[in-house]
Amino acid sequence: MGEMLAIVGLGSNLAGELESIDAQLVRAAEQIEATGAGKIVERSRMFATPPWGGVEQEDFRNATIAVSTQLEPLEFLHACQAIEQAAHRTREVRWGPRTLDVDVLALYAIEPATGEVSVVESAGRWGEELIVPHPYAHQRAFVLVPWADLDVAEDSRLTLAGQGIGAWLESLARTEPGELAEVRPVASPQWDAAR
């Protein structure tokens, strides 16, 4: 498929064997590059977000990264899943606490000769294993707010379900203003040093 820009959501609310929750996100970003999955071209700030899905647990830390990758979509997904597994990610309770989420939110193919950008849509190509764009990304403040924090979110070619990230945020502000207000940037010396 050639070069792609991947928008990847990172999330954690368990430190696991690391010293902090923030360290989980820092290590995940480092592993994207260290494993050869891709090169980070931009990082959002880190955000504190309340848990989603009704399971009682600690707040999450979320961030979004834009990654340039040469891997095929499934290879990139598998690289992200390997990073989750290295953090001892378990899936015991849906929407429950976890050491690490590395979610492929969207993929954009970049034509090397022209720089033309097109949205990669799975359209059943990879079954249930990889669905891009992420089917619920446009509905969740903990995804949209960090994504909108990226400069690439301003690129009108990088749409999500046919609209720009800013338009989805405006829609969420009308329908779920409380949820949007709960996602707040936090200072994270470890994460901020890498930005």
Residues annotated as part of the active site: 89, 98, 101, 103
Element (H, E) at 49: strand 46-49
d(CA 44, CA 51): 19
The answer to whether 68 touches 5, Cβ cutoff 8 Å, is yes
Neighbours of 82 (CB within 10 A): 14
10-19 b/e (C-beta count within 10 Å ≥ 16 → b)? bbbbbebebe
Residue 157 is encoded by which pair of tokens?
Answer: 């070619």
Q: Which residue has the tokens 């301003």?
A: 154
